[in-house]
Amino acid sequence: MYNLYLEHRAEKDIRKLPSIHLPTIISKIKNLSENPKPKGCKKLVQSKDYWRIRVGNYRIIYDIVESSKIIRIYKIQHRKDVYKGQ
């Protein structure tokens, strides 16, 4: 079981999400604590340790610290915006 941590940026992103998508996204985040690399997750090419999962048109960007059993969630944004600035 992994501990989940939302970075400040991800907390702001959650507040901005449309309420219709919120239950699905929160469910996917909770599932990461059981399985940090679910089916369909991908390692981001341009980064050292970031992973992403798709939730409809939204993406959750996170990294996994295996030694501490921690998952840090960095961004939760629409697919057209999430990769800007990385």
Q: What are the pLDDT digits (tens) for 39-68? A: 999 998 877 789 999 999 999 999 999 899
DSSP-H helix ranges across the chain: 8-16, 22-32
Predicted structure pTM score: 0.89
Q: Is residue 84 part of a domain?
A: no
Q: Is residue 86 part of a domain?
A: no
Domains in the chain, number = 1
Q: According to the model, what pLDDT value does residue 55 have?
A: 93
Residue 85 has pLDDT above 70, yes or no: no
Q: Identify the residue whose tokens are 């999430």.
A: 82
| CATH number for position 15 | 3.30.2310.20
Range of the domain at 47: 3-78
The residue type at 79: R
How far is CA 11 from each of CA 6, 27, 40, 47, 78, rounded to the nearest angstrom?
6, 15, 24, 21, 15
